[in-house]
Amino acid sequence: MGKLFKLDELLAALASRRRDHHQVVFTNGCFDLMHAGHVSYLTAARQQGDLLVIGLNSDQSVRAIKGATRPIVAQDMRAKVLEALECVDFITCFDEPDPLPLILAIQPDILVKGADWEEDRIIGAREVKAAGGRVIRVPLLPGISTSEIIRRILESRSARQNGL
């Protein structure tokens, strides 16, 4: 069985796990052009509890946040790569520009974001903490991001076109 679930299916699966006292960790992102930074981040997120739920921005959501040229990799392919990671237990896609409705539905015990986000800017932090949960900011690998990879590719392409 795969790890990609519709929200109602995910909520049913989580209810079963919670009866066994599993702590649910949640994070979200686009995860476009997966790289070592993503893997490191997701591995660290999973270590915070018993199971890791990924809220994957849909193609529509990524376009709303990042612009018309993104995502580079389609939602179903991004989900397939995430499914292959041992640290990921569940994935669900969302169309909204931010994950708050998803966080409110899932009610994670632990909300994880990258340390590049200040806690007061983390969507859902206030709600998770108000429900007795925790917010954890995970350090990121320096110098690697999807945007940086895209920038370097475009720079390299431009240099080749200019004979450099």
CATH of the domain at 28: 3.40.50.620
Res 159: pLDDT: 75
Instruction: Judge whether 2 lies within some domain.
Output: no
Res 142: pLDDT: 85
Q: Say what the pTM is.
A: 0.90
Res 151: pLDDT: 84
Q: pLDDT per residue over 10-52, tens digit each?
A: 999 999 999 999 999 999 999 998 999 999 999 999 999 999 9
Q: Give 57's strand partners.
A: 94
| Cα–Cα dist 79/4, whole Å | 7
Instruction: Judge whether 19 lies within some domain.
Output: yes
Identity of the amino acid at 10: L
Q: What total number of domains does the chain contain?
A: 1
Res 160: pLDDT: 77
* Exposed e or buried b per residue across 126-155, where buried means at least 16 C-beta atoms within 10 angstroms of its C-beta: eebeeeebbbbbbebeeeebbeeebeeeee
Q: Report the chain's terminal Cα–Cα distance, integer Å.
A: 49
Instruction: Judge whether 126 lies within some domain.
Output: yes
Cβ neighbors of 58 (< 8 A, separation 6 or more) are 75, 93, 94, 95
Instruction: Judge whether 109 lies within some domain.
Output: yes
Res 85: pLDDT: 98
Instruction: Judge whether 156 lies within some domain.
Output: yes
Q: Counting every residue, how long is the chain?
A: 164
The whole domain housing 87 covers: 7-161
**In terms of C-beta density within 10 A (0-12 exposed, 13-18 middle, 19 or more buried), how is residue 2 classed?**
exposed
Instruction: Judge whether 1 lies within some domain.
Output: no
Instruction: Judge whether 140 lies within some domain.
Output: yes
Residues of the chain falling short of pLDDT 70 = 1, 164
Res 164: pLDDT: 67
| Cα–Cα dist 40/140, whole Å | 8
Instruction: Judge whether 101 lies within some domain.
Output: yes
| Cα–Cα dist 147/43, whole Å | 21
